[in-house]
Amino acid sequence: MKKLTGLVALLCYAFSLSAQDYVELNYKFKKGDAFAFEQTSRSETYITVNEVVQRTTRDYNNKMEFVIREATPGVFILTFTYTDIKFNFNAKNQNIFVDAKVTNDAEPLQGALKLMLNQPFTVELQSTGFINKVEDLDAALDKASAAFSKLKSDEQAAYKKLLKDQFGTDAFRSWLEQLLVVYPVHGIKNGTQWEESVPLRTGLKGRIDLYWNLIHFDSQTAKINGTGNIKTDKLESFMVEEGIQATAAIEGTQTSNYLINRESGLPSICVQNTEMKGEYIYLANRKKQLKKDLKVPVRIITNASYKIKQVK
């Protein structure tokens, strides 16, 4: 009998050790929880048109807050607001720097971004990390576009496209989908790898296949490394600039390093590096003096970092 009792105790101890090897990760919030969010990134695009290299850079230094408006089993509604926006855009010898908190009547984009501050929009998020939808952000952009009302029609169109490309629903959802880890529904242990695929949403058409690997976890944090394989759909067209349609045959990789706060499931810190290369094919357009399709080599490099801190 003593031998049997000892065997049972040994099995229970072994099971306990085995259970400690696994962790279940997901997003956990309570209604009213509040977070501060910082985004810093730099993107460089190099295209070669008729053997001339053109460089475009985009720098972001943005701050946001989000509050958990609703918390139901498996689904949360997050209300976001921008609290600070700094954006620098440089292309074709034109530089646009905006600080949304500073008044600058000479730069229409600055007025638009100022109008975006503190405008609420929502994200519906599953506890696994899937984003169901983003709402009200385009409505905020429409209000912000009032800053362009005194411009000529072609200038208004150009500024609205720039605003939407950089801050619209698709742009926001795209980087948020690549930032938030989508967790598996079962427990995982160190060395476990899992994957998910999400569409590209920022102009380029295609998908990014995301792979995550649990490196280490303790009672408060988890360290996760991520990689992404990016591939565009070369048959889908998009507007590369006003009046010019193009297709893209581009591939690339993304690497991510996360420090996860296990209490919420959110990354306290995430650093991402993305590099893509391939070619655009500008489609023939006589109005733009393109008599035939034009192959344009392209290379895109993006470095980004994110910080999220619970404030309530």
* Residues 133-175 pLDDT 10s: 999 999 999 999 999 988 999 889 888 988 998 899 999 999 9
Tokens found for residue 288: 């733009």
Going by pLDDT thresholds of 50, 70 and 90, the confidence category of residue 285 is confident
Confidence of residue 183 (pLDDT cuts 50, 70, 90): very high
Q: Which neighbouring-strand residues pair with 71?
A: 76
d(CA 184, CA 186): 5
β-bridge pairing 75-91 and 34-49: unpaired
Give 23-310's CATH code, choosing from 2.30.230, 3.30.70, 1.10.3470, 2.60.40: 2.30.230
pLDDT at residue 14 is higher than 70 = no
Cα distances from 29 to residues 69, 70, 262, 263, 297, in angstroms, run 10, 9, 11, 8, 45
- Pick 287 or 82 by higher pLDDT: 82
Q: What is the mean pLDDT of the chain?
A: 89
Phi/psi of residue 110, nearest 5 degrees: -65, -40
Is residue 287 predicted with pLDDT exceeding 80?
Answer: no
Q: Residue 17 — very low, low, confident or very high, per pLDDT cuts 50/70/90?
A: very low
The pairs formed by 107-114 with CB atoms below 8 angstroms and a separation of 24 or more are: 108/147, 108/148, 108/150, 108/151, 108/155, 108/159, 109/147, 109/159, 109/162, 109/163, 111/147, 112/144, 112/145, 112/146, 112/147, 112/148, 112/159, 112/163, 113/85, 113/87, 113/144, 113/167, 114/147
Q: pLDDT category, 20, cuts 50, 70, 90?
A: low
Q: Is the pLDDT of residue 255 over 60?
A: yes
The pTM score is 0.86
11 pLDDT more than 50: no
Nearest to 123 by CA among 29, 217, 192: 29
Q: Is residue 32 helix, strand or coil?
A: coil
Long-range contacts of 149-157 (CB under 8 A, 24+ apart): 150/108, 151/108, 154/242, 155/108, 157/242
* C-beta of residue 37 within 8 angstroms of C-beta of residue 306: yes
Select the highest-mean-pLDDT range: 7-16, 36-45, 94-103, 106-115: 36-45
pLDDT at 83 over 90: yes
Residue 222 has pLDDT above 90, yes or no: yes
Query: Residue 13: is its pLDDT beyond 60?
Result: no
The proportion of the chain whose per-residue pLDDT surpasses 90, expressed as a percent, equals: 66
Compare 5 and 39 and report the one with higher pLDDT: 39
What are the tokens at 215?
A: 């490196």
Rounded Cα–Cα distance for residues 242 and 156 (Å)? 12
Mean pLDDT confidence for 86-108: 86
pLDDT category at 18 given cuts 50, 70, 90 is very low
Asked if pLDDT for residue 282 goes beyond 70, the answer is: yes
| Long-range Cβ pairs for the range 192-195 (8 Å, 24+) | none
**What residue segments make up the domains of the chain, in order of their start?**
23-310
No. of H helices and E strands in the chain? Answer: 5, 15
pLDDT-based confidence at 107, cuts 50/70/90? confident
pLDDT reported for residue 16? 41
Q: Assess whether pLDDT exceeds 90 at residue 7.
A: no
* Model confidence band, residue 187 (pLDDT cutoffs 50, 70, 90): very high
What integer is the mean pLDDT of 56-80? 96
